[in-house]
Amino acid sequence: QDVRTGAWELCDLAVSVAREAAGLVRARRAAGIGHVATKSTETDVVTSADRAAERLITDRIRQARPADRILGEESGTHAGDSPVTWVVDPIDGTVNYVYGLGHYGVSIAARVADVTVAGVVRDIDSGAEWRAVRGGGAWRDDRRLTGSEVTDLGVALVATGFGYQPDRRARQGAVVGGLLPHIRDIRRFGSAALDLCLAAEGLVDAFYETGLNMWDYAAGGIVAEEAGLRVTGLSGEPAGAGMVLAAPAALYGPLHDRLVELHARAA
């Protein structure tokens, strides 16, 4: 049984598996969208490429480390008795994939004892790749990332996203409407994992979204944290389904407090 838990080694495996999965999705997309089915609502889609990529990722992890657990968006929990859990989103941004817009990614994180220790997000279309190891920094290729230097929320470009449930969306819309007058602008690119990497790189100044699952934010979250951003929920909660807020220190307080106020009003 393989219980080596070195974060660099886990990161290297995540990177090589993410590259292979990205290649599979690119090849599939070149041949067409594939079969599209709906999940929780008619706007929540899954394609044959999501499923095939997740199968490839889980197969490769299983081959390399048969004792590890895996949590994947499309296939759920795979049991194991090692302390390592892999958290997999085979395509984050499936709607972008379906429309052929680009900007969808493979996201793979490794967690040990409930702490994310390594993560990689790879933009399938562009080939851009972000990775991080706990304590080892966040990287895009060979460039170390340090987030945005913007200090004034009023000129901050903030990325966010919306879930697939209509009632949640209505609340998310109310919050974003209340936030807009207080920031430079909003970006809704369609992939939470990539949004977190853009925030790590300072290509947006901050990111927040409610209702995310761990596979959406585990890898992007460690990339943002290792770039020096604070990544939390609201009011002392850890990042989770309630909220994933990622912001550099100077923006964190004002954005956090504004979101608390807007969520109370939208409840």
Cα distance between the two ends of the chain: 48
Phi-psi region of 137 (alpha: psi -120 to 50; beta: other; left: phi over 0): left
- Please pick, from the candidates 54, 68, 73, 125, the single residue that binds Ca ion as defined by CB under 5 A: 73
Report the distance separating Cα 182 and Cα 229, nearest Å: 20
Is residue 124 within the footprint of ligand IPD (CB under 6 A)? no
Among the residue ranges 53-61, 89-97, 129-137, 232-240, the one whose residues contact ligand IPD (CB under 6 A): 89-97
Is residue 221 within the footprint of ligand IPD (CB under 6 A)? no
Among the residue ranges 25-33, 89-97, 113-121, 203-211, the one whose residues contact Ca ion (CB under 5 A): 89-97
Is residue 190 within the footprint of ligand IPD (CB under 6 A)? yes
Is residue 208 within the footprint of ligand IPD (CB under 6 A)? no
- Please pick, from the candidates 21, 112, 192, 229, the single residue that binds ligand IPD as defined by CB under 6 A: 192
Is residue 196 within the footprint of ligand IPD (CB under 6 A)? no
Residue nearest ligand IPD by beta-carbon distance: 161
User: How far, in Å, are 142, 209, 252 from residue 145 at the CA level?
Assistant: 9, 22, 18
- Binding to Ca ion (CB under 5 A) within 8-67 occurs at none
Q: Which residues lie near ligand IPD (CB under 6 A)?
A: 89, 92-94, 161-163, 190-192, 209, 212, 216
